[in-house]
Each structure stands twice: as structure tokens, then as C-alpha cells.
Chain A
Amino acid sequence: MTTKPVTAPLVDVRDLKIGIARGGGDPLVVVDRANFQLHAGEMLGLIGESGSGKTMVCRALIGTLARRGAKVLDGAIRLGALDLVAADEAIWRQVRGRRLGYVPQSALAGLNPVMTIGDQLAEAIAQRPTPNRTNAAAVARELLEIVAIHRPETVLQQYPGQLSGGMRQRIMIACAIAPGPDVIVADEPTTGLDVTVQAGIMQLLRDIRARLGTAIILVSHDLALVDAYCDHVVVMHAGACVESASVSRIASPRHPYTAALNRSRIELAVPGSDLITIAGAPPAVGAWPPGCRFAERCEIVQSDCRRGDHPGLRGLNGHATACLHPDLMVAAE
């Protein structure tokens, strides 16, 4: 029987609720009941379809919700002992980038096109708790070596536009690890990259975790990727976390949505056979029905599924599900 380490989690997200301000009326709730814990040195995959709220959770973690007119309405995000929901901008300046690194989906958007790679790395290195300005150049070369960029001297003089997509993403990762964060949040870091480049970037994130002990939250819609690289998976659907388990346990899902995602995996399908798709579409943000938001598309739906609040995560042995009737799933399989 596996039990979670008894140490306190590094990041603890509890009943997080996020809303986007609307002119006049109540905010539009886009995430409700996000719950997960990240432990030191862990690689956690946050999975969901577009519109499930995974990117909003990401933004809440790095404190950039306000830029999109959104805010945390309820719940808690803790980084160690620090309460990030109550944090003001002064505290965020100490946390964002320094203790929480961020790797965005598009490395071209994340890098400044008119600054050399060397200058951008120097900026990131200056965020270290004890910046050593005289040695910044040596640190920059060391960072490029960690992210496996050859010819660092040349690359330091270059601009982002002169580099390939994979190289740019490596630079973004170098910038993210430069201040020595405890956690890196990577939002779809390999979307749009070639498979061989994707494999290289994922290998790199894994190496960084092993070498520097950095915990990583990988946000993705690619189950195969999370399956191959993460320790723990959290599945989001319509603004809520519906299942949370180790990668090995998620293979026997205890939520019908996860089961449906598993069945629609193209790489596991037999060529020539029909792919199994999930009927219907997730409910639109702002039009969530009462009870479980997957009920409309669920094969084992019961009458009590459509009542009350969205069910919270409950479970044993580190395998939690929001499904009220996970035992019926086994019968349906």
C-alpha cells in the first residue's frame, strides 16, 4: 500500500475558485473546486481539455490572474507556509520568478525579441536571492550547459528570432531555473514542437528535476506525455478537479471522464477500428449544471449525480475521485 510522504506539500491548492470580472454583475466563475498538492521534487501533470480551467489555475499559481481581469474568489494556494491568495504585489515580486518559475507555451512570446539571450539570462540571474553580478557571465554559460545548448558563447550574443523553436524553449527553461525556484510551472511547454524536440525538452525537465530537485507542474492535454514523464496526474473537467492519482494508478481510472479520455487515446487504438469518442461537449463556462458537470456525457449517471454542488475529491491511498459512483465503473467496463 502506498502512502504519501508525511512531509507537508510544497504547493497546496485547496477548493480554489477563480472568476473573471464582468461589467456590473457577478464574476463569471471559470474554476471551482481545484484541489491538488505538489510535493518537493515531484513532477505533476495537470490534464484537461481546452476550457477546463487548467491555464487559469496556472495563472493563479504564478499570480498573473489580474492581468486577465480575473481573481481568486475563494479557496487557498499555499507555497510552503506562504498564503499566495492573500499575497500583495510586494510579496508576489519575491515569489514570482524567484520561487515559482514559469515556462509558457510559446517561447517566442515569453522572450524579448530585441534583447540578446545573454542579456535576458543576466536579467533572470539578477533575480537570485544573492545575485553575484561579477560572475553573471559564468552563471549564464553554466545555465546554457544545463539546458544542453552547445556553443554557449555564440548563443549568448544571439536574438530569439535567430534560434529554432526547440532552442528558444530551452532558453525559456534556462531563464526559469536561473533564480533557483522550488517549483516550475510549465504550461504546454512542447505544444507545436516536433516529436524529437519534444522528447528532448521533456528529458531536460526530467534532468532538471533530478539535478536541481525542482518540482514541476506540467500542464498538458496530452495524456501520453503525462503518462510517460509525470509521477502524479490531476484531471480537470469543466473547472473542477475530477481525479487525482499516481500515474500507475490512473491506468485504472475511478472517474468516467478519465476513463473516456483513456479510451480515446489514438496511440493505443488499433488501426482500422473506430476510435471511441466522448459523446457531447463539456458544459460551457457560466452554464454549469447542478451536481456533477460530467453527468450529461456519463454512461453510468445516477439520479443523485445531478443534484447539489459539484462533488469534491474523495478517496483512499492517494487515489481520489469526484465520481459519486466509481464502483459502478468497474461493472460498466
Chain B
Amino acid sequence: MTDTLLAASDLRLTFGSGAHRVAALRGVSLTLGTAEAIGIVGESGSGKSTLARILVGLQLPDAGTVLFRDRSIYAGRQTYPGALRREVQMVFQDPYGSLNPRMTALAAVAEACRFHDSCSAAEAQARSLELLARMGIGEADSHKKPRQLSGGQRQRVSVARALSARPSILVADEPTSAIDQSAQAQLLNLFRGLLGQGLSIILISHDLAVIRYLTRRVYVMRDGEFVEAGATASVFEAPQHPYTQALIASIPGHQPRIQEPTP
């Protein structure tokens, strides 16, 4: 087992008030090791995106703790104060909505570089080109704006932006949902490469194939709670909780196939 990089325990959060109270998280705990990929699966409304927002510090929980390298990520109302700021970065589902439509790919990444490091424009430019090249985006494409790029390229620009902070953890919320299959394969290969270089990844998805391929451990979420957690391979092979069993049974191809009339 790898050393623990991030540990969340007993996270609770309720939205709304009075009769409209919705418990989004009801005591959720997880751990993430160095260079480890974990998956969080569940339906829309199960609380996975809320959990992601708490783990990257965009949302404060009502109760519970998040420790990064055994230190709380909270300082008053601030999250990830000071040098911790860069450690956890996020990639969102919709790469079109998360990139400025008027900025080229290069400018978008360079902006993020300069935000995290005080460096000259030329240095930021050089580093951005290098990051984009690692993402498989060549010099010619780096001068394009989001609408001139394919969905898969846009998503890789978003990853380059996130990596510009030199984070230890990447939280990816449905990163493959909006892109074509061969672009998904490209992105997943990229993620595997990053894991090999020591990055840790929290992958949130309702696509079980993607989770099974990339992650070593998986948490299954329902109604703000984890109903099952364990090694990905064993959860997929022998799901214990009825809900996990239903999820796995819903994968296309798991239903009894209708055979065409045989000759």
C-alpha cells in the first residue's frame, strides 16, 4: 500500500433549509495514495461532484476533515492555504465551458502557468508549449482557439492547464463523457502516463468501463454515502451491494443479447 497523500473523513454537507433540506453527503471517508488512481462511481445526484468540489477546496463541508499529507487543508474559511494552493487541481466535464473561447490553447495554459509561478511571459510560453506537447498538442494546434479544436483536444488543453500548477493530485470529474471513443482512449493513455510519473488521480465517472480500466480502487456512491468500496477488479467481478450489482448489470452487453434469427 502506498503512503496516504489525501485523507477525507466523515464529510457531511446539507444543502437548503427547512423542508427543502437535502443531505448531499452523509459521512463520507476516503484515502488516496501517491501515484494511485481511485474511482468514484454513482448516479447523477448521488453527491460525487459535491465530494469532488470539497476535495479540491471549492466547497466547504458542514463537518468532517480533509488532510493533505497529514495537514488540514482548512485555515479558517480558506482552503489549501499558501503553498498548498497548487497541490490539487481539477479537470471538468465540459472542456468547452471551462476554456475561454477567445484565448488560444497556448494563451490559456500560459495564463495558468503565470498564475501559479512568477515567471516571465517568455518562460510561461515555453513551459506551456512543452506541456501541450506532452498532451499531444503540437505547436500548430496550440495557436488555435477552443472552437477550432476537437472535443478531445480541448479536454487535453484543460489537463495541460491543470498540470501547469505542478499538482500532486488531479481530480477529474467526468472527463471522458463529452468526447469520442478514440479521443477517450487517448486521454486515458495520457492519464496512465501521468500516474507512471507519480501523479495521483481521483476519477469521477458514471462510465464504468473507464473506471475499470484506469483505477485500482473504487468507491460506489449512492444518496450521499459510499455503499461499497474496494479493489476495482474485485468490485467489478463480485459486487457485494445490490446497488453495485445493478450498476454492473447495466453495462451494455451484460443483458442477455437478443439473437438475430439464425439461418
A49 within 8 A of B: yes
Q: Could you mark each residue 1-41 of chain A with 1 if its beta carbon is under 8 Å from any beta carbon of chain B, else 0?
A: 11000000000000000000000000000000000000000
Contact indicator A277/B43 (Cβ below 8 Å): no
B54 within 8 A of A: no
Closest A residue to B41 by CB, please name it.
A195
CB distance from B48 to the nearest CB of A (A): 11
Q: How far is the CA of A1 from the CA of B208 in the complex (A)?
A: 37
- Per a CB cutoff under 8 Å, which of B44, B185, B207, B253 touches A275? B185
Contact indicator B251/A267 (Cβ below 8 Å): yes
CB distance from B49 to the nearest CB of A (A): 13
- Interface size in chain A (residues, C-beta < 8 A): 42
A261 within 8 A of B: yes
Contact indicator B260/A271 (Cβ below 8 Å): no
Contact indicator B258/A224 (Cβ below 8 Å): no
Q: Could you mark each residue 202-239 of chain A with 1 if its beta carbon is under 8 Å from any beta carbon of chain B, else 0?
A: 11001000000000000001111101110100000000
- Per a CB cutoff under 8 Å, which of A246, A261, A269 touches B213? A269
B214 within 8 A of A: yes
Contact indicator B182/A260 (Cβ below 8 Å): yes
Q: In chain B, residues 131-186, which have Cβ atoms closer than 8 Å to a Cβ of chain A?
A: 150-151, 177, 180-182, 184-186
Contact indicator B253/A277 (Cβ below 8 Å): no
Chain B residues whose C-beta falls within 8 Å of the C-beta of A221 in the assembled complex: 180-181
CB distance from B160 to the nearest CB of A (A): 18
Contact indicator A267/B151 (Cβ below 8 Å): no
- Per a CB cutoff under 8 Å, which of A198, A224, A248, A266 touches B185? A266
- Per a CB cutoff under 8 Å, which of A49, A267, A271 touches B214? A271
Q: Could you mark each residue 168-205 of chain A with 1 if its beta carbon is under 8 Å from any beta carbon of chain B, else 0?
A: 00000000000000000000000010111111001100
A133 within 8 A of B: no
Contact indicator B252/A222 (Cβ below 8 Å): yes
B28 within 8 A of A: no
A81 within 8 A of B: no
Q: How far is the CA of A278 from the CA of B136 in the complex (A)?
A: 13
Contacts A195-B206, A196-B247, A229-B252; is A264 near B151 (CB within 8 Å)?
A: no
A316 within 8 A of B: no
Contact indicator B246/A196 (Cβ below 8 Å): yes
Q: How far is the CA of A231 from the CA of B262 in the complex (A)?
A: 12
Chain A residues whose C-beta falls within 8 Å of the C-beta of B249 in the assembled complex: 199
Contact indicator A264/B181 (Cβ below 8 Å): yes
Chain A residues whose C-beta falls within 8 Å of the C-beta of B97 in the assembled complex: none
- Per a CB cutoff under 8 Å, which of A195, A229, A261, A281 touches B181? A261
Closest A residue to B212 by CB, please name it.
A271
A167 within 8 A of B: no
A165 within 8 A of B: yes
Closest B residue to A276 by CB, please name it.
B185
Chain B residues whose C-beta falls within 8 Å of the C-beta of A50 in the assembled complex: 150-151, 180
CB distance from A48 to the nearest CB of B (A): 9
Q: How far is the CA of A203 from the CA of B257 in the complex (A)?
A: 11
Q: How far is the CA of A295 from the CA of B212 in the complex (A)?
A: 33
Closest A residue to B152 by CB, please name it.
A281
Closest A residue to B179 by CB, please name it.
A50
- Per a CB cutoff under 8 Å, which of A1, A165, A248 touches B44? A165
B121 within 8 A of A: no
Q: How far is the CA of A276 from the CA of B189 in the complex (A)?
A: 9
Chain A residues whose C-beta falls within 8 Å of the C-beta of B253 in the assembled complex: 224, 227-228, 267
Contact indicator A195/B250 (Cβ below 8 Å): yes
- Per a CB cutoff under 8 Å, which of B185, B214, B232, B247 touches A277? B185
CB distance from A283 to the nearest CB of B (A): 12
Chain B residues whose C-beta falls within 8 Å of the C-beta of A227 in the assembled complex: 252-253
Chain B residues whose C-beta falls within 8 Å of the C-beta of A195 in the assembled complex: 206-208, 247, 250-251
A126 within 8 A of B: no
A247 within 8 A of B: yes
Contacts A227-B253, A277-B189; is A192 near B258 (CB within 8 Å)?
A: no
B82 within 8 A of A: no
Contact indicator A266/B181 (Cβ below 8 Å): yes
Contact indicator A1/B263 (Cβ below 8 Å): yes
Which residues of B pack against A, CB within 8 Å? Answer: 43-44, 150-151, 177, 180-182, 184-186, 188-189, 192, 206-210, 212-214, 232-233, 246-247, 249-255, 257-258, 260, 263
Some 25 contacts from A to B, beta carbons below 8 A apart, are: A50-B180, A51-B150, A194-B44, A195-B250, A195-B251, A198-B250, A198-B252, A199-B249, A203-B255, A221-B180, A222-B181, A223-B181, A224-B209, A224-B252, A246-B260, A247-B260, A261-B181, A266-B185, A266-B207, A266-B209, A267-B251, A271-B212, A274-B192, A277-B189, A278-B182
The 6 closest A-B pairs by CB, nearest first: A267-B209, A199-B250, A228-B252, A275-B185, A194-B43, A195-B250
Can you name 5 extra interface pairs (CB under 8 A) apart from A195-B247, A196-B250?
Answer: A165-B44, A195-B206, A229-B252, A266-B181, A277-B185
